């Protein structure tokens, strides 16, 4: 069994901490995955105030103060695709997901994306292992337990290769410094170790997990939900999208209710 490196153990501990501190807005996904809605900016009143800027000086400050007229306007804006006011609400998610999921996710470009960098840190030495539901379609087992075992062995080998080769490079650098053939470390980023990380990360499989902060406005988030929660979306990103939707709905129950009422919500029920 592959032993998790120090950075991976720290991330695992942080996941547990976030689940404890923010249980209503954080979820585990799969064998090492995680998602949290860390922060939001704006609410339904922000949308209405923005929409009314050309027609009224009336401003709302609390969602609790919305009248039936306000709710009707909000419903109208959403149903008639008046998109700009919905760009005034922002949400920041943090998620830890397999790299192949991130390659699909990053295609939703109208957002801010900050990802874990293997130039500066060793990779997360945890990788996605498909469970029974992920590898079964309509009762047909696409990938057997024996194949999952071979898959796991291969990925452990690739991760172990990185750890062993990086350790060898570090020992080589330290020996060269002791002999005086390399300059001593002066603080900051070590260029020799950094170059080793840059080269060795090329061997990391896309099943390995990475860590992302994603900041997105509500209009773009609706598009993400509608595309990535469809039954035709890949199972793994669909699981993250479903979790993100539940967390969004807990934070903005009125918007979720309106989306579902007018048919703008994803086309499948969600409960996690």
Residue 196 maps to which CATH number? 3.30.1360.170
Can you list the residues of the chain whose pLDDT is less than 50?
none
Domain annotation covers residue 58 = no
pLDDT at 264: 67
Cβ-count burial 241-261 (b if 16+ within 10 Å, e if not): bbbbbbbbbebbeebbebbee
Tens of pLDDT, residues 35-89: 999 999 999 999 999 999 888 878 899 999 999 999 999 999 999 888 899 999 9
Domain annotation covers residue 56 = no
Domain annotation covers residue 79 = no
Domain annotation covers residue 47 = no
> pTM here?
0.93
Contact at 8 Å (CB) between 270 and 59?
Answer: no
Number of domains in the chain: 1
How many C-alpha atoms does 182 have within 13 Å on its Cβ side?
16
Catalytic residue numbers read 228
Domain annotation covers residue 52 = no
pLDDT at 109: 77
**Domain span holding position 176:** 6-42+89-261
Task: Give the angle 255-261-263 at the CA atoms, nearest 5°.
Answer: 100
pLDDT at 267: 61
Domain annotation covers residue 59 = no
Contact at 8 Å (CB) between 148 and 135?
Answer: yes
Q: Measure the CA–CA gap between 152 and 149, rounded to whole angstroms.
A: 5
Q: Measure the CA–CA gap between 217 and 40, rounded to whole angstroms.
A: 10
Domain annotation covers residue 209 = yes
Residues 6 or more apart whose Cβ sits within 8 Å of residue 197: 118, 119, 120, 121, 122, 166
DSSP annotation of 86 = G
Task: Give the angle 157-161-162 at the CA atoms, nearest 5°.
Answer: 125
pLDDT at 142: 97
Please return the burial class of 127, using the count of CB atoms within 10 Å of its CB with bins 0-12, 13-18 and 19+: buried
Chain Cα centroid distance, residue 81 = 27
Domain annotation covers residue 73 = no
How many C-alpha atoms does 243 have within 13 Å on its Cβ side?
24
Please list the alpha-helical segments (H only) found in the chain.
6-21, 44-51, 68-79, 99-105, 145-179, 191-200, 218-228, 235-251, 253-261
pLDDT at 185: 82
**Helices and strands (DSSP H and E) totals, the chain:** 9, 7
Residue length of the chain: 272
């Amino acid at each position: 069994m592959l032993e998790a490196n120090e950075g991976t153990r720290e991330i695992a501990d942080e996941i547990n901490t976030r689940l404890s501190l923010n249980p209503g807005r954080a979820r585990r996904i799969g064998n090492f995955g995680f998602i949290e809605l860390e922060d939001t900016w704006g609410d339904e009143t922000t949308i209405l105030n923005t929409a009314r800027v050309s027609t009224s000086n009336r401003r709302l400050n609390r969602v609790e103060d919305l009248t039936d007229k306000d709710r009707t306007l909000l419903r109208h804006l959403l149903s008639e695709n008046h998109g700009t006011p919905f760009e005034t609400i922002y949400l920041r998610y943090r998620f830890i997901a397999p790299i192949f999921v991130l390659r699909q996710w990053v295609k939703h470009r109208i957002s801010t994306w900050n990802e874990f960098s293997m130039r500066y840190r060793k990779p997360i030495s945890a990788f996605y292992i498909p469970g029974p539901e992920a590898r079964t379609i309509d009762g047909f087992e696409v990938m057997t337990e024996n194949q999952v075992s071979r898959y796991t062995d291969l990925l452990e080998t690739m991760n172990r290769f990185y750890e062993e080769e990086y350790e060898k490079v570090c020992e080589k650098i330290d020996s060269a410094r002791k002999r005086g053939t390399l300059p001593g470390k002066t603080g900051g980023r070590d260029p020799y170790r950094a170059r080793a990380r840059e080269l060795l990360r090329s061997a990391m499989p896309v099943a390995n997990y990475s860590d992302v902060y994603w900041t997105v406005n509500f209009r773009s988030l609706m598009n993400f939900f509608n595309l990535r929660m469809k039954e035709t979306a890949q199972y793994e990103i669909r699981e993250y999208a479903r979790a993100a939707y539940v967390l969004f709905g807990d934070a903005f129950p009125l918007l979720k209710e309106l989306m579902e009422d007018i048919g703008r919500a994803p086309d499948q029920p969600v409960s996690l």
